[in-house]
């Protein structure tokens, strides 16, 4: 074999090796180093090119909703909608039949969707996600009827309603006053998000983990000495798997607020290793319309710290969890027993 032929064989072998590596990492070598063009599917094996849509002054669309509307019904491939910085005055809905959408703003503080509906809580959300398998990153949703705080009468006015399954929110802002985030149902993961409000501003029957989130209480928007409520969970059955789990979150703000009250009779909320400022009401929880049935409620805190974390004055019926019980609720398997979080392409865009 001649030296030139041997060199050619070695080059071909190296190219084949590189292609094998690319199939494992989800990146096509020789594609200009653009990881954004190549992602794994939900199976974690097949590699495919995903569609990109640009919203902005020089984009494909000038509104976010028109970009969503352009996605085919019953879509089965990830579609990235990149949104330029700016304030978008519109209501945005991802319908049931448009899954596998990624909404990606420039940053939580510079890309904002604003509307002010407030007639009913069902009609009010600025952002609604009905579809499964959706990722939202670096964007803020605001219901401006009561936020920023103004002279308008306080009414239920949601910034967002999320009811699809397998939803991931990363560095997303939700700003309102009453009923800010309607975490309706489904498995959801909120990481490094900001949720602001005063009354029941995280509510619904979702099965959700909130990790490293900022929970901002606008107690100064309420009447003097009137406390607010951070959560209002809607679990209706003791065998229901839903619950709100807060891990390593920061609870702060003005005025005061209870950690939660039950929207339905088997509400379940856990705060785990969270920082509590003195905004937290000393008694911690309120039974609301379920006085006499407190034994049905699961309201707990574990290894929280800060000025508001002293449990000496907490209600007597607060749940006293063992570490095994806490571990069961705080591990990712609480929302991700099928590993859907580990196969979505949130690191590839």
Enumerate the β-bridge partners of residue 169.
136, 190
- State CA 30 to chain mean position distance: 35
pLDDT band at 8 (very low <50, low <70, confident <90, very high): very low
Q: What is the value of pTM for the model shown?
A: 0.86
Instruction: Report yes or no: 211 and 189 within 8 Å, Cβ to Cβ.
Output: yes
pLDDT band at 30 (very low <50, low <70, confident <90, very high): very low
Catalytic residue among 132, 183, 200, 286: 200
pLDDT confidence of residue 130:
98
pLDDT confidence of residue 22:
33
Q: Round to the nearest angstrom and report the end-to-end CA distance of the chain.
A: 47
CA–CA gap between residue 99 and residue 135 (Å, rounded): 10
Average pLDDT, the chain: 88
pLDDT band at 19 (very low <50, low <70, confident <90, very high): very low
Active site (annotated) includes residue 179: yes
Active site (annotated) includes residue 34: no
Q: Which residue has the higher pLDDT, 225 or 45?
A: 225
Q: Mean pLDDT over residues 187-215, rounded?
A: 98
Domains of the chain: 100-337 (2.160.20.10)
Identify which of 107, 164, 114, 165 has the alpha carbon closest to the alpha carbon of residue 137: 107
Per-residue pLDDT for 92 more than 60?
yes
Q: Is 345 exposed, middle or buried (0-12, 13-18, 19+ CB in 10 A)?
A: buried
**Maximum Cα–Cα distance for the chain, whole Å?**
91
Q: Mean pLDDT over residues 161-172, rounded?
A: 97
Catalytic residue among 179, 183, 184, 286: 179
CA–CA gap between residue 57 and residue 55 (Å, rounded): 7
In the block, tokens 């929110």 appear at: 169
Over residues 265-295, the pLDDT tens digits come to 999 999 999 999 999 999 999 999 999 999 9
């Amino acid at each position: 074999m001649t030296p030139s032929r041997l060199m050619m064989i070695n080059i071909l072998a190296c190219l084949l090796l590189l292609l094998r590596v690319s199939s494992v990492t989800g990146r096509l070598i020789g594609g200009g180093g653009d990881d954004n063009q190549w992602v794994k599917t939900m199976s974690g094996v097949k590699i495919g090119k995903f569609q990109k849509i640009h919203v902005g002054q020089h984009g494909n669309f000038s509104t976010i909703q028109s970009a969503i509307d352009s996605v085919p019904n019953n879509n089965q491939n990830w579609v990235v909608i990149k949104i330029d910085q700016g304030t978008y005055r519109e209501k945005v809905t991802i319908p049931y039949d448009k899954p596998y959408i990624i909404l990606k703003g420039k940053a939580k503080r510079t890309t904002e969707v604003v509307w002010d509906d407030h007639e009913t809580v069902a009609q009010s959300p600025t952002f609604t996600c009905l579809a499964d398998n959706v990722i939202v990153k670096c964007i803020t949703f605001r219901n401006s009827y009561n936020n920023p705080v103004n002279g308008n009468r306080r009414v239920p006015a949601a910034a967002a309603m999320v009811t699809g399954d397998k939803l991931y929110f990363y560095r997303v802002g939700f700003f309102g006053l009453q009923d800010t985030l309607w975490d309706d149902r489904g498995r959801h993961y909120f990481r490094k998000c900001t949720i602001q409000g005063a009354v029941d501003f995280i509510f619904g029957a979702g099965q959700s983990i909130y990790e490293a989130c900022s929970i901002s209480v606008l107690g100064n928007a309420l009447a003097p000495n009137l406390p607010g409520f951070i959560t209002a969970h809607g679990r209706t059955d003791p065998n229901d798997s839903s619950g709100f789990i807060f891990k390593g979150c920061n609870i702060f703000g003005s005025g005061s607020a209870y950690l939660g009250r039950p929207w339905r009779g088997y509400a379940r909320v856990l705060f785990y290793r969270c920082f509590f400022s003195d905004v937290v009401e000393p008694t911690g929880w309120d039974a609301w319309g379920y006085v006499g049935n407190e034994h049905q409620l699961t309201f707990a805190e574990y290894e929280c710290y800060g000025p508001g974390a002293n449990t000496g004055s907490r209600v007597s019926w607060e749940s006293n969890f063992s570490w095994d019980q806490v571990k069961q609720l705080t591990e990712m398997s609480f929302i991700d027993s099928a590993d859907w979080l580990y196969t979505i392409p949130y690191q590839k865009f």
